[in-house]
Copies of this chain bind each other. A is one copy, B any other.
Amino acid sequence: MVKLNENYQKLQGSYLFSQIAKKVNAYAAQNPDRTIIRLGIGDVTRPLTHSVISALHSAVDEMADEKTFRGYAPDLGYDFLRHAVCENDYRARGCNIYEDEIFISDGAKPDSGNIQEIFDDDNVVGVCDPVYPVYVDSNVMAGRCGDFDEKTGRYDRIVYMPCTAENGFVPELPQKRCDIIYLCFPNNPTGAVIRKEELQKWVDHANANGSVIIFDAAYEAYIKDPGVPHSIYECSGARECAIELHSFSKNAGFTGLRLGYAVVPKDLVRDGVSLNSLWARRHATKYNGAPYIVQRAGEAVYSEAGKAEIRALVDYYMENAAVILSGLKKAGYTVSGGTDSPYIWLKTPDDMSSWKFFDQLLENAGVVGTPGVGFGACGEGYFRLTAFGSHENTAKAVERICAL
């Protein structure tokens, strides 16, 4: 008889955001007249920009004509997009990355869930605590994480790297062996950033230990501080130890369009095997390319007009972040993040539990946020708000929270 993947039974509850959606839907059904403001899930609300829309329409028209119709895309992405990514996100920043090291995909979430497949199941995984759940759950499914301990709220084979108020939500180098280290800066969920000299220490650590860093740069467009790197490849030696993941969701609003990319440098080699070739094989076998029309939309993000539109989008959301930050501070909350990141991380009042604060905020203010504990044990007593709402809703939400 067929046996199922038993590792799935070790997953905790449902996927965090599905769980929140269920709670909110139940509340909405019971309170049909109440306007709910959603600052929970990191989903954008502004429409796609003019350049993107125009590129989509043109590409759709191409698909209507047999002379310009495109079937299967190249597995690893169209050259026009790999070129635009390489020039704009790397070469323009002085990073030594080549086009054939860029793998176009349908987003940073699938990439961050799938990337662990090219590693042996025996590796030890290190993650920040709190952490984006996909890094942990995808490794649990692969059997790398051991058992879940209800008391600690942790898996016994993962190395957790606490991100606390004490360390400014930037973890210390792990004391225990970590073969695969997940880092995300600007951080989801805390909104913390890492300075270049700090990130260099991680690169050096990984190179000294033969570890691989999975660096999630999904939020790099929000960085304003010039001392904060946009890419791990700004650090020397990163080509030998790091994979970087990117998204078009948070800068260009592609959450519903789906586009991202992974960078796997050819210098990243272990036991004589190139990780670039493994990831290429994974793509060729289990993926079939991002839609042509969406890749053309991605290309438009890098046009001069596209870049200006993206800057305006980011500025729009960062105005929200400023409103949330100043409002909460005035109301006496302890807050961080929100200056180089669309996420605001707040301490719940009176050491209230994260889920209790979630319920209170939903029921009394009609505002949806994300309970910090949903991202890990160190997130208990914290709460995440996002800057991705409209100006109007964000102002209203802050007003309601302050009136609590």
| A residues in contact (CB < 8 Å) with B | 1-6, 8-9, 11, 14-15, 18, 41, 43-48, 50, 53, 56-57, 60-61, 63-66, 69-73, 75, 106-107, 109-110, 113-114, 117-123, 133-134, 137-138, 141, 179-180, 209-212, 253, 255-258, 270-271, 273, 275, 278, 281-282, 284-294, 390
Asked if A120 and B270 sit within 8 Å, CB to CB, the answer is: no
| Shortest distance between the CB of A130 and any CB in chain B (Å) | 17
Asked if B69 and A43 sit within 8 Å, CB to CB, the answer is: no
> CB within 8 A of A285: which of B70, B113, B270, B278?
B113
Chain B positions within 8 Å of A61 at CB level: 53
Chain B positions within 8 Å of A57 at CB level: 57, 60
Asked if B134 and A286 sit within 8 Å, CB to CB, the answer is: yes
17 A-B pairs besides A2-B211, A5-B119, A107-B288 with CB distance below 8 A are A1-B210, A4-B119, A4-B270, A5-B118, A5-B121, A8-B118, A8-B278, A41-B72, A48-B69, A56-B63, A63-B257, A66-B390, A71-B255, A72-B256, A110-B286, A256-B289, A291-B291
A182 to B141, CA, bound (A): 23
A113 to B36, CA, bound (A): 39
A18-B75, A63-B47, A120-B6 known; A110 vs B287 contact (CB < 8 Å): yes
Chain B positions within 8 Å of A15 at CB level: 75, 281, 284-285
Copies in the complex: 2
| Shortest distance between the CB of A139 and any CB in chain B (Å) | 11
- A sample of 27 inter-chain contacts (CB < 8 A) reads A2-B210, A3-B271, A4-B119, A4-B275, A8-B278, A8-B281, A9-B273, A14-B281, A15-B284, A15-B285, A41-B72, A45-B71, A69-B256, A71-B253, A71-B256, A73-B256, A110-B287, A110-B288, A113-B285, A134-B286, A137-B285, A255-B288, A256-B291, A257-B291, A257-B293, A258-B291, A291-B291
Chain B positions within 8 Å of A48 at CB level: 63-64, 69
| Shortest distance between the CB of A245 and any CB in chain B (Å) | 13
A273 to B14, CA, bound (A): 15
Chain B positions within 8 Å of A107 at CB level: 288
A73 to B75, CA, bound (A): 23
A232 to B212, CA, bound (A): 44
Which of A18, A44, A114 has most B Cβ within 10 Å? Answer: A18
**CB nearest neighbor in B for A284:** B15
A73 to B106, CA, bound (A): 13
Asked if B109 and A288 sit within 8 Å, CB to CB, the answer is: yes
Asked if B291 and A3 sit within 8 Å, CB to CB, the answer is: no
Chain B positions within 8 Å of A9 at CB level: 273
A138 to B117, CA, bound (A): 11
Asked if B45 and A56 sit within 8 Å, CB to CB, the answer is: no
A106 to B294, CA, bound (A): 13
